[in-house]
Chain A
Amino acid sequence: MLKILVPVDGSENAKRALAHVIELTQSGLPLQVHLLNVQSPLQSKISLNAIASQATLDAYFHELGDEALAAGLALLNQARVPYQYSVEFGPPAKTIVDEAQKRGCHRIVMGTRGFGLISNLVVGSIAYQVVHLSTLPVTLVQ
């Protein structure tokens, strides 16, 4: 069974990456997707803790993660592709690569860039770092 990690942030680019994976199911061969959203609130938490409890913050960031996953989960349900999903916390690229490893994925398929600020870069910094850190093949969908 082929396991593919698809990190998503709710962007159109991430949706195209997922569509690329769903296409692979047309082979009729078994495939499982792990849909991942990474939240990186670590830096902001330090200041936010002054005004909100840890529990409130955790709930808030989990909510953000669920929002980022929603479109992808809808696509997977519609295409009847078996999946697992999770929201993880940490630096995005490292977390993506670690999760892929931990969950026994065979490859990573992701958008070249998500909701980054600098959209004129060909490859966003997260995709760039994932390619750098990952020993698994990384498919970049534009």
Chain B
Amino acid sequence: MRTVLIPVDGSPQSTMAVATLLRFADYERIGQVCLLNVQPELHPGYRALDAAEIAALTLQQGERALIDGVRLLEEAGIPFQIRIETGAVAPTIARVAEETGAEQIFMGSQGRGAIAAFVLGSVAIKTLSLTSLPITLVR
């Protein structure tokens, strides 16, 4: 089954990445999409939250980031799975790509990062360095 990984952060650009894949879906012969959101790893003590509260917060923010992409995929009737992971963004994208056996990655050329002013987001560049998969960058 041909899997396409789409890391999203809830930004309009990452939603565009989903929309773009859907435009080309018939050509790409997609088996399924893995929609991934990577949240920063928070530790107990962050804003005086305990471990359970941190897990709930991570999940909530992850779902918020995924929702627009989920809606598009549901409308299109493309099979998909969602993943909310914590850790450094690019290495996590590369790891999930491997775990899901993804054949390619679609992503926004820049996301919500602090240095979104960069032409090609640092996440996109780092991801390219950590995987040998083709990456389609969408603006």
Spell out A's residues near B (CB within 8 Å): 2, 20, 24, 26-27, 29, 31, 106-107, 112, 122-123, 128, 131-132, 134-135, 137-142
Among A2, A26, A140, A141, point to the contact of B24 (Cβ < 8 A): A2
Question: Which chain B residues border A138 with CB–CB below 8 Å?
Answer: 109, 136-137
Are A107 and B24 within 8 A (Cβ)?
yes
Question: Which chain B residues border A106 with CB–CB below 8 Å?
Answer: 23
- B5-32 vs A: 1/0 string, CB under 8 Å? 0000000000000001001101111000
Q: Is B125 an interface residue (CB 8 A)?
A: yes
Minimum C-beta distance from A83 to chain B (A): 16
Are A123 and B20 within 8 A (Cβ)?
no
Q: Is B56 an interface residue (CB 8 A)?
A: no
Given A107-B24, A131-B120, are A137 and B128 neighbors across the interface (CB < 8 Å)? no
Minimum C-beta distance from A140 to chain B (A): 5
Minimum C-beta distance from B36 to chain A (A): 19
Return the chain A residue nearest B21 by Cβ: A137
Separation of A29 and B133 alpha carbons in the complex (Å): 23
Separation of A29 and B25 alpha carbons in the complex (Å): 11
The 7 A-B residue pairs whose C-beta atoms are closest, nearest first, are A132-B119, A139-B136, A122-B129, A141-B134, A24-B27, A27-B27, A137-B138
Question: Which chain B residues border A107 with CB–CB below 8 Å?
Answer: 24, 136
Question: Which chain B residues border A24 with CB–CB below 8 Å?
Answer: 27-28
Minimum C-beta distance from A139 to chain B (A): 4
Are B129 and A134 within 8 A (Cβ)?
no
Among A31, A123, A134, A139, point to the contact of B125 (Cβ < 8 A): A123
Interface centre among B26, B27, B136 (most CB of A within 10 A): B27
The size of the chain B interface, using a CB distance under 8 A, is 22
Are B28 and A123 within 8 A (Cβ)?
no
Separation of A24 and B25 alpha carbons in the complex (Å): 10
Are A140 and B137 within 8 A (Cβ)?
yes
Return the chain A residue nearest B126 by Cβ: A122
- A128-B120, A134-B139, A140-B137 given; 7 more Cβ-contact pairs under 8 Å: A26-B29, A27-B27, A31-B27, A122-B129, A132-B119, A137-B139, A142-B132
Question: Which chain A residues border B133 with CB–CB below 8 Å?
Answer: 142
Minimum C-beta distance from A133 to chain B (A): 9
